[in-house]
């Protein structure tokens, strides 16, 4: 149905669709001092706007708002329809505390109380 519309109208609709994707998505890619909004996210990768996204490669951090979600090793995959796709080589879930190197018993005390 879009093929019957004038070219300017189609381009305007496409620009409005992309702008709406930017507003809806809270996902952001942080690499060094640069931050890029994520257009789409799927299990094995994500896409950024091709206009302002470089051919990223290497280690990046993926945030949802202010929450650190993943630390990823990525490679640029392909550019299609104004989106640059990136594939994960590795995506590690970010934790807010250090991993334990031992098994913690279920009945272990939470804290030790000193003498009063």
Domain borders along the chain are 26-93
60 vs 74: CA distance, rounded Å: 7
- In this prediction, residue 20 carries a pLDDT of 62
67 vs 82: CA distance, rounded Å: 27
- In this prediction, residue 25 carries a pLDDT of 65
CATH of 26-93, one of 3.30.750.210, 1.10.357.10, 2.40.10.430, 3.30.70.1150: 2.40.10.430
- In this prediction, residue 23 carries a pLDDT of 57
Locate 37 and state its tokens.
């909004």
The answer to whether the CB of 87 falls within 8 A of the CB of 75 is: yes
Cα angle value 13/36/91 (rounded, 5°): 115
- In this prediction, residue 18 carries a pLDDT of 65
Locate 56 and state its tokens.
């990223």
pTM over 0.85: no
**Which parts of the chain register pLDDT below 70?**
1-3, 16-25, 116
- In this prediction, residue 98 carries a pLDDT of 73
Sequence-separated (6 or more) residues with CB below 8 Å from residue 44: 87, 88
75 vs 96: CA distance, rounded Å: 26
């Amino acid at each position: 149905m879009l093929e019957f519309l004038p070219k300017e109208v189609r381009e305007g609709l496409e620009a409005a669709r992309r702008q709406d994707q930017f507003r809806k998505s809270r996902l952001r890619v942080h690499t060094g001092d640069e931050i890029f909004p994520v257009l789409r996210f799927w299990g094995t990768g994500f896409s950024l706007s091709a206009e302002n996204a470089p051919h990223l490669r290497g280690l990046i951090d993926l945030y949802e708002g202010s929450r650190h979600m993943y630390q990823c090793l990525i490679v640029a995959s392909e550019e299609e329809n104004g989106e640059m796709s990136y594939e994960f080589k590795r995506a590690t879930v970010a934790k807010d505390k250090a991993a334990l190197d031992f098994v913690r018993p279920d009945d272990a005390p939470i804290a030790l109380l000193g003498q009063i």
